[in-house]
């Protein structure tokens, strides 16, 4: 279990992180989101003691992280770093050795992990011969192959296509199922929403949202309505409680409601003649919430 309490850091007069608090239980995933410069990477560096904190504490299973604990951590920095003239196999063995793992422990796992992440190449290939995407997979494997108990991933999905992003998501979920604590930052709200148990949103070093993903979305009310019915755009705009109506190319509508209770009246009118293809009233997406909270465009 990772506990972060009242964590703060300034660089001169600039407050990079202000009074951050969270707990990640074993087998849980926390997503850290925010605009560039919000404090995500600073948070990771403070947890790992790469930076000295101004205030607060970081506890791993009830005690400050020790040298031995660092061998159970997997950390993927935002700025990737591999040795281009070294083979995949030797690279993975080297990074694992930095975590106290012996060659005989890791060598049998290399083929399995390369297959899991569908790395295109042989383990005897030099890293420089791989595509950028496959190099990134090797970097991820080097972070995870020692099966860490605490996994910290700084923008792990950056540059990955949807297929490879799915492979990474599956790898993260597998670690969770084995009991690891996972914390990652991402600009992809869809990834955060799908796999995170808990969410923290930062804005200029301050925590603006902190809670379970579903609860955060529900707290904004079911203000989004997706509708495919015979009603026209002008008819929908006439309903009390409708703030905005967007007609899509396929003829369906995306509605924003300033009063979620308007959904009931719209449903009754849309279904008065029977079946309709779609009526889906939801809370706003994480991406919409992010824009409101960070951009200040929503009350």
Q: What is the pLDDT of residues 55-68, one digit of tens each?
A: 999 999 999 988 78
Rounded to an integer, what distance in angstroms lies between the CA atom of residue 266 and that of residue 259? 12
Q: What average pLDDT score do residues 145-152 get? A: 90
Question: For position 234, what pLDDT does the model report?
Answer: 96
The CA distances from residue 59 to 25, 69, 70, 150, in Å, are 12, 11, 12, 12
Do residues 230 and 213 share a domain? Answer: no
From 186, 218, 250, the end of a domain falls on: 218
Asked whether residue 295 is assigned to any structural domain, the reply reads no
Residue 293 domain-assigned (yes or no): no
pLDDT at position 296 is 55
In-domain check, residue 98: yes
- 155 shares its domain with 61: yes
Show the domain range for 212: 2-218
Residues 187, 33: Cα–Cα separation, whole Å: 7
Task: Please check whether residue 152 is in contact with residue 78, taking contact to mean a CB–CB distance below 8 angstroms.
Answer: no
What local confidence, expressed as pLDDT, does residue 152 receive?
Answer: 94
Residue 287 falls within a domain, yes or no? Answer: no
Which tops the pLDDT comparison, 191 or 215? 215
Describe the chain by its helix, strand, coil percentages, rounded to 5. Answer: 35, 30, 35
Please give the tally of structural domains in the chain. Answer: 2
Q: Is residue 37 part of a domain?
A: yes
| 82 domain-assigned | yes
* 8 A C-beta contact, residue 159 and residue 169: no
* CATH number of the domain residue 247 falls in: 3.30.70.980
User: Does one domain contain both 101 and 244?
Assistant: no
Average pLDDT over residues 198-210: 92
**Mean pLDDT, rounded, for 192-211:** 91
């Amino acid at each position: 279990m990772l506990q972060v309490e009242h964590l703060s850091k300034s660089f001169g007069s600039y407050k990079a992180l202000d009074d951050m608090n969270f707990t990640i239980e074993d087998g849980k995933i926390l997503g850290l989101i925010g605009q560039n410069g919000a404090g995500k990477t600073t948070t990771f560096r403070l947890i790992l003691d790469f930076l000295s904190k101004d205030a607060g504490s970081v506890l791993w299973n009830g005690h400050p992280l020790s040298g031995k604990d660092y061998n159970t951590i997997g950390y993927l920095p935002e700025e990737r770093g591999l040795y281009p003239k070294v083979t995949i196999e030797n690279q993975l063995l080297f990074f694992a050795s930095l975590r106290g793992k012996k060659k005989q422990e890791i060598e049998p796992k290399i083929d399995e992990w390369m297959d899991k992440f569908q790395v295109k190449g042989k383990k005897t290939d030099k890293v420089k011969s791989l595509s950028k995407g496959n190099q990134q997979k090797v970097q991820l494997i080097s972070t995870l192959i020692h099966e860490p108990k605490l996994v910290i991933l700084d923008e792990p999905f950056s540059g990955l296509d949807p297929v490879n992003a799915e492979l990474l998501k599956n790898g993260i979920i597998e670690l969770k199922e084995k009991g690891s604590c996972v914390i990652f930052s991402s600009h992809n709200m869809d990834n955060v929403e799908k796999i995170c148990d808990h969410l923290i949103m930062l804005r200029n070093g301050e925590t603006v949202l902190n809670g379970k993903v579903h609860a955060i979305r529900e707290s904004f009310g079911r203000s989004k309505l997706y509708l495919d019915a015979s009603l026209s755009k002008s008819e929908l705009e006439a309903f009390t409680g409708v703030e905005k109506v967007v007609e899509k190319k396929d003829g369906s509508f995306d509605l924003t409601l300033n009063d979620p209770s308007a959904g009931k009246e719209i449903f009754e009118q849309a279904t008065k003649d029977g079946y309709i293809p779609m009526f889906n009233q939801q809370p706003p997406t994480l991406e919409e919430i992010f824009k409101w909270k960070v951009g200040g465009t929503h009350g």
